[in-house]
Amino acid sequence: LEEKDSPVRSAVEFIVNGRMRDAHDQLVEGFKTLGLLKELQKNPTVFHDIFVCQEKPLTARDLSSLFTVAYFAQGSNRRALENQLRMMVHSLKDVLVFTSGASAIPPLGFPCQPEIQFLHDTKKIYPEANTCGVVLYLPLHSSYEAFKTFMTEGILQAPSFLNGHECDSERLH
């Protein structure tokens, strides 16, 4: 029992000093060519956020700046309905998971620009999403209360539907 940590230390040392050594040396050499290694060593806290990803709480500003909105033409009846829409659901993280499958915005962003589109089909009452294209399809309702109810129900029920499903080009309900 006294030597229980020894195999773990040996394994970590092998991985760090053995397998990862070449990659580490190559990274260090790359930093040296630009004079960046000295700056990293002098000011490690300045570079911490660049090299270490930390998940921060999602804000409304993050979510609203993430998506572009595909509106109908200004002055149209459909645009008037779209303008009435205000999104409010259980949590912003739920909206992001529903739309993209990700619980946080990736450090390098999504591979494509997330988008919001509107569902003008009156038979569709729940939100839909294309997690591959990161598109959120919002249903239009005659009242904000109806929109909020169906939006919340649709998004909160989605995690059990999404678990274990592969990404395809179909819209998910």
Strand, coil or helix: what is 41?
Answer: helix
CB 126 within 8 A of CB 98: no
The reply to whether 112 belongs to the active site is: no
- Kind of pairing between the strands at 135-139 and 128-130: antiparallel
Q: How many CB atoms lie within 10 A of CB 69?
A: 13
- Taking alpha carbons only, the member of 64, 61, 110, 59 closest to residue 85 is 64
- Taking alpha carbons only, the member of 126, 115, 140 closest to residue 173 is 126
Residue 10: half-sphere exposure toward Cβ, Cα within 13 Å:
5
Question: Of 53, 112, 132, 167, which residue is the catalytic one?
Answer: 132
Q: What angle do CA 135, 141, 146 make, to 5 degrees?
A: 105
Task: Provide the annotated active-site residues.
Answer: 132
